[in-house]
């Protein structure tokens, strides 16, 4: 708390956000690149798909999908747990617990001598990552101002991509070690050192000021807001923020329950919850996890490239994905959330359609394989624009303060549920139906721009408390979407003042 303003925000990014989401990407993609390592197949013959064929290979593919996807099952449980403990323990303690979970799981995995230990380790890692992915974006958004909240949270995708890329290059480098277990134990041990960073640094960083107000610790919340703000911020502005948070909480003094979503209310909670659920569904079922986790398998099995070339291309495409995240960082607070979702969804759908066409040709058709590889690179350009950070950001923005942790954690659990589905079925689907598998993702991706255009309001530039006011104005869904784009009476900090005539005018046009 000796740091202030931009310096403090930078410390939050470097010490917590970066390692948390690096662990997300590294642990998720790490095992997928080890399945063809010689000592790996010797240690875990139950998931050997390299030296088997026929019915045995088909069975091992299924088991392999289960083993890899235990990580996502753990993440589902971990993110759901945040809805129960997030508002009780606070953001910092949950982040500490998540980091500790990843450390324990990574230690179990890198020391495994049997499949059961590996599965337990992957499950515990997943629980830790689920807690981090469900809590860190909430902590970030609640500690950020309206004008730079997008940039802060969309960096999550940059760090996830860094984890994907680095694990690919580490696996490629250690793949050259042909004897012993170094080729797979070292890659699984590396993230353990990263887990230590947020574990020990989180308690030197501020708690969410909104959680502090929720717990009645107003002086501490005021001090935190001052520390997070620039030196030019006036004391009355900080007092105004505290009052706005208190007002939001006082309107719901009867208590907090996730069941409020399904009860009659004037806040459109069910609609807001559905936006979060649908967005996280799109993130997985548009093909992002398919390409990130199974890129080496796609290049080797689907495109019939050599093992070495497959690994090089997989590492290269994930590095390209990391660089493409800079586009989202530039666009998110310039063009808004809706634009990046529409552009990203349209691009991913077209790339999946192209992959379905090019992989339908025989494997001996070299030009088709080259074009397929090109569209995998192009897909990894489009996904970070809207669905590798912005999706987590949007869910924390549209959720009300009293249910922010619960809605964010459940929508993140939905993300992990579909992540599990993808990682579970992909090895079998690629082996059995080939090019037709990509058509499913192309169709789902095509639904993204349509649903975003009609259903998703713009949240760029809005204070979190002011978004609550927008949803409570009594407008229809289309009215909310339209009014989110209308010019608003804002001060320098983005605080909105609504006028009744303006609200009535928007609703009249909608009718």
Distance CA 392, CA 26 (A): 18
What percentage of the chain has pLDDT greater than the value 70?
Answer: 84
Flag whether 65 is in a domain.
yes
Tens of pLDDT along 159-211? 888 888 888 888 888 877 777 888 889 999 999 999 999 999 998 998 888 88
* Of 323 and 466, more confident: 323
Write down the pTM of the prediction: 0.76
295, 318 Cβ separation under 8 angstroms: yes
pLDDT of residue 4 exceeding 50, the answer is yes
Flag whether 214 is in a domain.
no
pLDDT of residue 342 exceeding 90, the answer is yes
Flag whether 190 is in a domain.
yes
Flag whether 482 is in a domain.
no
CA dihedral 303, 307, 311, 312 (to 10 degrees): -90
Contacts of residue 360, Cβ cutoff 8 Å, sequence gap at least 6: 434, 435
CA dihedral 377, 331, 92, 201 (to 10 degrees): 70
280, 418 Cβ separation under 8 angstroms: yes
Flag whether 224 is in a domain.
no
For residue 173, the domain's CATH number is 1.20.1250.20
Domain, as residue range, for 325: 5-207+263-455
pLDDT of residue 448 exceeding 90, the answer is yes
Residue with tokens 């909240």: 149
The Cα angle at residue 223 between residues 235 and 131, in degrees rounded to 5: 130
Q: Is 53 left (phi over 0), alpha (psi -120 to 50) or beta?
A: beta
* Mean pLDDT, range 6-25, rounded to an integer: 89
**Measuring CA to CA, which residue among 97, 110, 87 is closest to residue 40?**
110
* Mean pLDDT, range 61-89, rounded to an integer: 83
* Mean pLDDT, range 235-256, rounded to an integer: 65
**H-helix or E-strand spanning residue 497:** strand 496-497
The Cα angle at residue 383 between residues 380 and 385, in degrees rounded to 5: 115
- The model's confidence at residue 150, banded by pLDDT at 50, 70 and 90, is low
**Measuring CA to CA, which residue among 293, 275, 270 is closest to residue 420?**
293
Provide the pLDDT for residue 508. 43
391, 382 Cβ separation under 8 angstroms: no
- Domain count of the chain? 1
Distance CA 202, CA 226 (A): 19
Residue with tokens 């610790």: 217
Contacts of residue 396, Cβ cutoff 8 Å, sequence gap at least 6: 137, 138, 140, 141, 142, 153, 404, 408
Output the six-digit token pair for 327: 């586009």
pLDDT of residue 110 exceeding 80, the answer is yes
What is the phi/psi pair of residue 478, to 5°?
-65, -35
Output the six-digit token pair for 195: 């887990």
Flag whether 475 is in a domain.
no
Flag whether 238 is in a domain.
no
Residue with tokens 């608003």: 488
Provide the pLDDT for residue 496. 43
Total length of the chain: 511
**H-helix or E-strand spanning residue 496:** strand 496-497
Flag whether 481 is in a domain.
no
């Amino acid at each position: 708390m000796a740091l202030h303003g931009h310096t403090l925000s930078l410390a939050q990014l470097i010490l917590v956000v970066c390692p948390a989401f690096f662990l997300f990407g590294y642990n998720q993609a790490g095992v997928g690149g080890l399945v063809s390592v010689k000592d790996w197949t010797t240690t875990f013959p139950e998931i050997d798909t390299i030296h088997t064929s026929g019915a045995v290979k088909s069975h091992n593919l299924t088991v392999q999908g289960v083993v890899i996807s235990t990580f996502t099952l753990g993440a589902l449980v971990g993110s759901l747990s945040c809805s129960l403990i997030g508002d009780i323990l606070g953001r910092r303690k949950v982040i500490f617990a998540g980091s500790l979970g990843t450390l324990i799981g990574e230690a179990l995995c890198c020391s495994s001598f049997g499949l059961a230990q590996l599965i337990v380790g992957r499950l515990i890692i997943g629980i830790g990552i689920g807690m981090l992915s469900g809590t860190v974006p909430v902590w970030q958004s609640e500690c950020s101002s309206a004008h730079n909240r997008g940039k802060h949270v969309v960096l999550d995708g940059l760090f996830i991509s860094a984890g994907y890329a680095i694990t690919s290059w580490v696996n490629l480098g250690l793949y050259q070690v042909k004897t012993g277990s170094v080729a797979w134990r070292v890659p699984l041990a590396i993230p353990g050192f990263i887990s230590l960073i947020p574990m020990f640094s989180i308690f030197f960083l501020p708690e969410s000021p909104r959680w502090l107000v929720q717990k009645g610790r107003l002086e501490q919340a005021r001090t935190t807001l001052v520390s997070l703000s620039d030196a030019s911020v006036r004391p009355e502005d900080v007092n105004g923020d505290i009052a706005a948070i208190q007002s939001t909480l006082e309107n719901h003094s009867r208590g907090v329950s996730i069941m409020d979503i399904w009860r009659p209310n004037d806040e459109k909670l069910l609609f807001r919850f559905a936006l979060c659920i649908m967005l996280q569904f799109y993130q997985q079922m548009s093909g992002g996890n398919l390409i990130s986790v199974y890129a080496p398998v796609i290049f080797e099995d689907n495109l019939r490239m050599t093992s070495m070339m497959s690994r090089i291309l997989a590492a290269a495409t994930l590095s390209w994905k990391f660089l493409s995240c800079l586009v989202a960082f530039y666009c998110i607070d310039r063009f808004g959330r809706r634009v990046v979702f529409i552009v990203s969804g349209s691009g991913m759908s077209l790339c999946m359609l192209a992959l379905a066409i090019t992989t339908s040709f025989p494997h001996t058709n070299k030009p088709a394989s080259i074009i397929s590889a090109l569209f995998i690179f192009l897909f990894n350009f489009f996904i970070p624009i809207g669905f590798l950070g912005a999706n987590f950001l949007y869910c924390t923005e549209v959720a009300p303060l009293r249910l922010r942790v619960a809605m964010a954690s459940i929508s993140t659990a939905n993300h992990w549920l579909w992540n599990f589905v993808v990682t579970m079925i992909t090895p079998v689907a690629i082996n059995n139906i080939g090019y037709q598998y990509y058509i499913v993702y192309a169709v789902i991706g095509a639904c993204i721009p349509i649903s975003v255009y009609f259903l998703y309001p713009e949240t760029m530039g809005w204070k979190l408390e002011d978004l609550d006011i927008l949803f409570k104005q009594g407008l229809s869904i289309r009215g909310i979407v339209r009014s989110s784009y209308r010019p608003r009476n804002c001060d320098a900090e983005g605080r909105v003042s609504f006028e009744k005539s303006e609200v009535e005018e928007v609703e009249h046009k909608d009718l």
